[in-house]
Amino acid sequence: KMSHQSGIRVSQELADLFANAVSESNLRLIRVSIINESLVSNGTKDISSNWDSDFEGVGEFLEEKEPCYILYRLDSKSITRDYEWLFMAYVPDLAKVRDKMLYASTRATLLKELGDTRFVDSMYGTTASEFTLDGYQKHKRHKEAEAPLTEREKELAEVKTAEANANAFSYSARKSHASGISFPMSDEAIQAIQGLQQPDLTNNFVKLSLDTVKEKIELEEASKIDIDDLANSFPDDSPRFAFYVYQHTHDGQDVRSNIFIYTCPSNSKIRERMLYSSSRGSVITFGESEANITITKKLETNEPTELTKTYILEELHPVTVTAPKTFSRPKPPGRKGAVRT
């Protein structure tokens, strides 16, 4: 699982403010700072005109020595009909070294916790002049011109391009899941997933891989496997998605559990990890919305070998520890102590 890089989290107030700004569409800009090890808002600006006229207001929120993030609402809308946002990270040269490091390592957390799919673009700069309308247009031209990039920048640019192509899955899916990148899915993969809702299963295991060159989700395997073979069905050096239908008995009842599995071994390539992590939501959405699979449990692991029968049964049927009744029940009137019958 991805850890929070600096341990700093979004405050409840900021989460609520941003959620409100998304639903009410009244704020043009939210300034975010790290205060007392927490991400908080310390400045907002209402919408007064269109997005490009309002852009000049950004400069008012930038200080000479203090880094900050700016969340800026554009007037364009996403496929979910919500307004799109621009993310800006301002880290001036005169800022303290510790602050520079802190803002650099907290950026990903802020985006992730607010919902990185809401942000269609990110800008990073060290001077206030970079955060003018002219500066933003330069940034866009530079992005479109594809200036010679380093390998690392190329990788990030490819990830951003993939995010921009998120229209491939234009399902009006539940918004909570319609997050991240959406790659098209091969016909074989679609048919295999849809086959899992049949009462008589030909296959109970569908494993999907992401072709990072074709930018497509492909069917890697559709088969009938025993739960004891599940752990050995995933590579240990590359991520995978899978749907597994586990038919078993529990407390004398026949149970059919539909499990979504995402394995992401820690020695996978960085780009693969980013792309799988970002497209996980759209694969779940496809299973639930298009294939009508009710997913009983979603499992994620860095160690595919952990997917044992014992572990899966514990996840599906957690043992609930109930406190002794003598503690949870008040004593009936007139009795001394608990009476066992």
Q: HSE of 106 in the Cβ direction (CA atoms, 13 Å)?
A: 27
Residue for token pair 């809702």:
197
CA 298 remoteness from chain centre:
14
Q: Find out if CATH 3.40.50.10320 is the number for domain 9-147.
A: no
Distances (CA, A) of 315 to 142, 226, 243, 300, 322: 48, 17, 15, 11, 18
Q: How far apart are CA 199 and CA 197, in angstroms?
A: 6
Q: Based on the number of CB atoms within 10 Å of its own CB, is 318 exposed (0-12), middle (13-18) or buried (19 or more)?
A: exposed
Query: Could you tell me the residue ranges of all domains in the chain?
Result: 9-147, 187-316
Q: How far apart are CA 17 and CA 211, in angstroms?
A: 38
**Average pLDDT, whole number, for the chain?**
83
Q: HSE of 297 in the Cβ direction (CA atoms, 13 Å)?
A: 18
| pLDDT value at residue 272 | 85
Cα angle for residues 7, 8, 14 (degrees, 5° grid): 150
Q: Does residue 243 register a pLDDT over 60?
A: yes
Q: How far apart are CA 195 and CA 199, in angstroms?
A: 9
Residue for token pair 């700093």:
8
Report whether 68 contacts 35 (CB < 8 A). no
Average pLDDT over residues 22-45: 93
Average pLDDT over residues 72-81: 86
pLDDT digit string (tens) for 92-139? Answer: 989 988 888 889 888 888 998 998 888 989 999 999 999 999 999 999
Q: Does residue 78 register a pLDDT over 90?
A: no
| pLDDT value at residue 82 | 83
Strand residue runs (E) in the chain: 9-10, 27-35, 38-46, 68-77, 83-90, 119-125, 205-211, 216-223, 240-250, 253-263, 297-301
Which one is predicted more confidently, 82 or 235? 235
| pLDDT value at residue 289 | 85
DSSP string over 89-125: EE--TTS-HHHHHHHHHHHHHHHHHH-GGGEEEEEEE
| pLDDT value at residue 159 | 58
Do the first three CATH levels of 9-147 and 187-316 match, i.e. the same topology? yes
Q: How far apart are CA 114 and CA 266, in angstroms?
A: 25
pLDDT digit string (tens) for 128-165? Answer: 999 999 999 999 888 777 555 566 666 666 555 554 44
CATH number for 187-316: choose from 3.20.20.70, 3.10.580.10, 3.40.20.10, 3.30.300.30.
3.40.20.10
Q: Does residue 49 register a pLDDT over 50?
A: yes
Distances (CA, A) of 48 to 29, 41, 146, 189: 11, 20, 34, 48
pTM to 2 decimals? 0.46
Residue for token pair 């492909």:
218
Distances (CA, A) of 230 to 33, 65, 205: 45, 54, 9
| pLDDT value at residue 151 | 65
Which one is predicted more confidently, 290 or 32? 32
Q: Does residue 42 register a pLDDT over 60?
A: yes
| pLDDT value at residue 229 | 95
CA 239 remoteness from chain centre:
16
Confidence at 299, pLDDT banded by 50, 70, 90: very high
- Identify the bridge partners of residue 279 per DSSP, sorted by sequence position: none
Average pLDDT over residues 236-257: 95
Q: Does residue 27 register a pLDDT over 60?
A: yes
Report whether 88 contacts 126 (CB < 8 A). no
Which residue from 158, 141, 139 is spatially nearest to 149, judged by alpha carbons? 158
Cα angle for residues 273, 189, 205 (degrees, 5° grid): 85
Average pLDDT over residues 233-239: 94
Q: How far apart are CA 110 and CA 119, in angstroms?
A: 11
Which one is predicted more confidently, 225 or 268? 225
| pLDDT value at residue 184 | 87
Q: Does residue 235 register a pLDDT over 80?
A: yes
Q: How far apart are CA 219 and CA 211, in angstroms?
A: 10
With a pLDDT cut of 90, the percent of the chain lying above it is 53
Q: HSE of 324 in the Cβ direction (CA atoms, 13 Å)?
A: 5
Confidence at 172, pLDDT banded by 50, 70, 90: very low
